[in-house]
Structure 1
């Protein structure tokens, strides 16, 4: 009998390591499908909650935030591209171009979790691809709605949400919950509310960790 794990994937659309982490995690779960059943939900985290509309040039942003040079940024971009290829995620070789506030995307992801839980991960992947593969402006409604359509969700309903404040309080509450519990970098994979796997790990790392957690959960389960 396979174990069931609750997995919260805390991440931001604008984070390339989150794209790698989610792709690797999904591969690991596919490998473990005979051993582990997962209830996977994407949870919100904003790397740049005060980012102005229209975003900022990514090179300028990274220099301001980390003090990195264009050469260093190009090197990291190539590392990310190669790691993405290993995980099955395609990055633009030119990077994101600009970085944007992602709060509206998180509102749509929360809506998907409530009304289409089986499609939330598909929406997350569509948003990540729009950002990192297609270099789209992730604060623009038409970009977000195209991802909604690609994930097979109700575009008219999503448009109405974007034109309102629906789910704004819920997203902020979830963001506060995770930061207040020590999550300050993403991706963060939280299993059964107690096990933390940090960073965009390779498939094998997730696979090994989930197998160990599942085995421990089964051994702790009460017997009839």
Structure 2
């Protein structure tokens, strides 16, 4: 039996990015199909779509209309398309008129710590579900502490981290690192530091790309 090809995967994304939720679910399904073929080492990298937002956020429909120059009907159509794509992957996308978009910097600080603890994927999926499926405020420290506990992290340490400003410099450094290398939209999946898979691709696209990269790495 051949040894699985090791792949380092840097998944650059934001908590409030619907295509990032789709991309992560697609990536995980592709890796499940490749079980035994590759050994994936996934690192979650921070990207803020809206770093200027206050903690309390703003109405998501108003925000999208202003940011992209579209009207309410176009926002609704985009959401319907995303809802369909997400449902096909088993992810419930429930954003609608009245939903809000929040500042995600503290969520990224918490994710940085979660990676050090080996619980980053569990926390990331909890955050995406809380925001997109349950409509929760992912800037709220109370919500973040609860999600940390649900992901298997120590809630007391999570609260202390959020209140102290820990890992702010580390998150900023990682954000700059990927921006300086040309990552200006997310999700961006970078394999072995050189291969870019852009956007929330379907599982079969991820699967084919990862097979090709693994084969080329094997020589």
| Structure 1 residue ranges without an equivalent (≥5) | 220-224
Other-structure match for 2:125: 125
- Once the two structures are overlaid, the 10-residue window that deviates more, 198-207 or 147-156, is 147-156
1-side partners of 2:131 and 2:97: how far apart? 9
Q: CA 1:124/1:3 → structure 2, altered by over 3 Å: closer, same or farther?
A: same
SS where residue 183 of structure 2 aligns? coil
1-side partners of 2:95 and 2:182: how far apart? 33
Do the aligned residues in 2 keep the contact of 1:24 with 1:206 (CA within 8 Å)?
yes
1:169-208 alignment runs, 5 A limit: 169-208=169-208
| Alignment equivalent of 2:88, drawn from 72, 86, 89 | 86
Deviation at 1:146, TM superposition (A): 1.7
1:51-70 alignment runs, 5 A limit: 51-70=53-72
Deviation at 1:88, TM superposition (A): 1.8
Deviation at 1:93, TM superposition (A): 5.3
TM-score by structure 1 length?
Answer: 0.95
1:95-106 alignment runs, 5 A limit: 97-106=99-108
1-side partners of 2:55 and 2:123: how far apart? 22
SS where residue 182 of structure 1 aligns? coil
TM-score by structure 2 length?
Answer: 0.97
Deviation at 1:53, TM superposition (A): 2.2
2-side partners of 1:147 and 1:198: how far apart? 28
1:24-39 alignment runs, 5 A limit: 24-39=26-41
User: How many residues matched?
Assistant: 217
Q: CA 1:159/1:96 → structure 2, altered by over 3 Å: closer, same or farther?
A: farther
1-side partners of 2:89 and 2:55: how far apart? 31
SS where residue 163 of structure 1 aligns? helix
Do the aligned residues in 1 keep the contact of 2:95 with 2:132 (CA within 8 Å)?
no
1-side partners of 2:33 and 2:206: how far apart? 10
| Alignment equivalent of 2:76, drawn from 59, 74, 77 | 74
Any idea what the Cα deviations from partners look like across 1:70-118, whole Å, max 9, x if unmatched? 111111101001100112211115278010110000000000111x22x
Deviation at 1:143, TM superposition (A): 1.1
Q: Which runs of 4+ in 1 moved over 4 A?
A: none
| Alignment equivalent of 1:45, drawn from 36, 44, 47 | 47
Do the aligned residues in 2 keep the contact of 1:56 with 1:100 (CA within 8 Å)?
yes
2-side partners of 1:165 and 1:143: how far apart? 17
SS where residue 197 of structure 1 aligns? strand
Do the aligned residues in 1 keep the contact of 2:145 with 2:158 (CA within 8 Å)?
yes
SS where residue 83 of structure 2 aligns? helix
1-side partners of 2:158 and 2:191: how far apart? 29
